[in-house]
């Protein structure tokens, strides 16, 4: 006998690196999924059974669920039983009263999503915020929904008896492994009431094999920020260590391998900085909430934000050895084997090199094509080319991302170059 589904229709708001895989996985469970995105091109691409992002095996799943009719994309929200909000949460760069750089969370996308779905909400619906958010964002989402729909009750006023349930369940997946981790990872579920949490668990149990752990919304928000801040602090230690080792003429990669032979030591590998929409952003949400207390977290951010400029200085010194420097920058993405350029230290380094006009800059990024080159690089006349062509022409080679293509390259291709390897692959 076929088990009746707890949800027949789910809407996913935001079809990016988290929203689209989530929509596809839920649709693969036989649930009708309506994906909503403001990008008409992304909507058309998905409805054609294709994908607009790079993620292993996602194209196969999307093609399958679109062909069965379980996934359909649109630019306008439609009625559903559950709404999962997976939109960006960047920050505003600014200056505080002391003249220091500040990073204020930008909740404009969440507010826009709330206004978009409010007209189609019906009694009994649940709205789940998946976007990584500062503490209190779920409450703000519920407030925006309540303003738009005074005819419905919300948990901040009615608790368990509210017409609309609201919860926070942060995504916690690794790019490149999203489809597996969406299913296998434990989920932290923070409802604004017990009934909100229970209903959210029902939804996640339709596709999650990991445990659904219940807490309140604020703790769920802080859990995701804490996870990424922990990683940021540990990366900052490795990045600081790499700078110290350069000064002391010690191979940091060998040093870390030796230190990690201790049973209770696990130092991460350094890099050119920290990127992506999570680790490079989320710690600032904690700092903004508690600026006087978050001292280690702030310093880790400053240390990691300074690392790209340290790498740039090394590249500049290398370029000074040549009358006509040609610099091959290997990688633009924020991590290996993906196309995501958000908050990428590699992209930041290439942009800064182009501004400094120290020589010809060539970029190699195997996960994007010419049409996807950032506007900043196109305007600076940075050419996108293959690894082979770049190494033929360049006299300085800079490894910024440890893509599999770069790891597989013949070391002999680098023999006659000045090499700056920020990832330790050579």
Q: What is the pLDDT of residue 127?
A: 98
| DSSP codes, 277-321 | SSTTTHHHHHHHHSTTT-HHHHHHHHHHHHHHHHHHHHHHHHHTT
Q: What is the pLDDT of residue 180?
A: 96
Q: Which residues are catalytic?
A: 224, 278
Give the pLDDT band (50/70/90) at residue 1.
Answer: very low
d(C-alpha 358, C-alpha 356), whole Å: 6
Q: What is the pLDDT of residue 96?
A: 67
* Alpha helical stretches, state H, 205-280: 217-248, 252-259
Q: What is the pLDDT of residue 340?
A: 87
pTM, to two decimals: 0.89
Q: What is the average per-residue pLDDT within 328-343?
A: 92
Dihedral sign of CA atoms 378, 382, 383, 385 in order: negative
* Strand 91-95, strand 101-105: pairing: antiparallel
User: What share of the chain in percent tops pLDDT 90?
Assistant: 88
Does residue 67 carry a pLDDT above 50? yes
Three-state SS sequence of 27-84: HCCCCEEEEECCCHHHHHHHHCCCCCCCCCCHHHHHHHHHHCCCEEEECCCCCCCEEE
Tens of pLDDT, residue by residue over 96-111, are: 666 666 788 999 999 9
> Domains along the chain?
9-217 (3.40.50.720), 250-421 (3.40.50.720)
Q: What is the pLDDT of residue 54?
A: 83
Give the pLDDT band (50/70/90) at residue 118.
Answer: very high
Q: What is the pLDDT of residue 277?
A: 77
Between residues 175 and 384, which one has the greater pLDDT? 384
Q: What is the average per-residue pLDDT within 217-226?
A: 98
Q: What is the average per-residue pLDDT within 178-199?
A: 97
Q: Decide: 28 and 62 in contact? Cβ < 8 Å.
A: no
d(C-alpha 355, C-alpha 333), whole Å: 19
Q: What is the pLDDT of residue 99?
A: 67
Q: Phi/psi of residue 62, each to 5°?
A: -60, -45
- Residue 134: strand, helix, or coil: coil
Q: What is the pLDDT of residue 347?
A: 97
Q: What is the average per-residue pLDDT within 136-143?
A: 98
Q: What is the mean pLDDT of the chain?
A: 95
Q: What is the average per-residue pLDDT within 16-33?
A: 97
Q: What is the pLDDT of residue 426?
A: 86
Q: Which two tokens stand for residue 365?
A: 């990024």
Q: What is the pLDDT of residue 101?
A: 67
Q: Which two tokens stand for residue 142?
A: 């519920």
């Amino acid at each position: 006998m076929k088990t009746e589904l707890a949800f027949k229709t789910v809407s996913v708001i935001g079809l990016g690196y988290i929203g689209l895989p989530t929509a596809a996985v839920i649709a693969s469970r036989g649930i009708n999924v309506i994906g909503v995105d403001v990008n008409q091109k992304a909507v058309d691409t998905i409805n054609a059974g294709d994908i607009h992002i790079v993620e292993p095996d996602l194209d196969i799943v999307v093609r399958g669920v679109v062909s069965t009719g379980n996934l359909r994309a649109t630019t306008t929200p439609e009625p559903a039983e559950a709404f999962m909000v997976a939109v960006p949460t960047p920050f505003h760069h600014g200056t505080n009263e002391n003249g220091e750089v500040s990073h204020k969370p930008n909740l404009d996308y969440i507010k826009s999503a709330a206004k978009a779905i409010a007209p189609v909400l019906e009694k009994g619906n649940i709205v789940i915020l998946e976007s990584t958010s500062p503490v209190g964002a779920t409450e703000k989402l519920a407030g925006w929904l309540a303003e738009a729909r005074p005819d419905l009750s919300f948990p901040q006023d009615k608790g368990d008896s509210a017409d609309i349930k609201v919860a926070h369940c942060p995504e916690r997946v690794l790019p490149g492994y999203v489809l597996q981790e969406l299913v296998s990872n434990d989920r932290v579920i923070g409802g604004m009431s017990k009934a909100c949490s229970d209903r959210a668990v029902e939804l996640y149990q339709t596709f999650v094999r990991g445990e659904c752990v219940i807490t309140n919304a604020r703790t769920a928000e802080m859990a995701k920020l804490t996870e990424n801040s922990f990683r940021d602090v540990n990366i900052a230690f490795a990045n600081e260590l790499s700078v110290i080792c350069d000064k002391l003429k010690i191979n940091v990669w060998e040093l870390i391998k030796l230190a990690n032979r201790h049973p209770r030591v696990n130092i991460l590998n350094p890099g050119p900085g920290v990127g992506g929409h999570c680790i490079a952003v989320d710690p600032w949400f904690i700092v903004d909430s508690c600026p006087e207390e978050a001292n280690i977290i702030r310093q880790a951010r400053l240390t990691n934000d300074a690392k790209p400029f340290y790498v740039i200085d090394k590249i500049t010194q290398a370029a000074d050895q040549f009358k006509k420097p040609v610099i091959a920058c290997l990688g633009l993405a924020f991590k290996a084997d993906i196309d995501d350029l958000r908050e990428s230290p590699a992209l930041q380094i290439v942009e800064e090199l182009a501004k400094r006009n120290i020589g010809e800059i060539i970029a190699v990024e195997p996960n994007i094509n010419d049409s996807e080159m950032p506007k900043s690089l196109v305007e600076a006349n940075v050419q996108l080319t293959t690894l082979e062509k770049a190494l033929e022409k360049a006299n300085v080679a800079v490894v910024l991302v440890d893509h599999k293509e770069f790891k597989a390259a013949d070391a002999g291709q680098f023999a006659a170059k000045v090499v700056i390897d920020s990832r330790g692959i050579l």
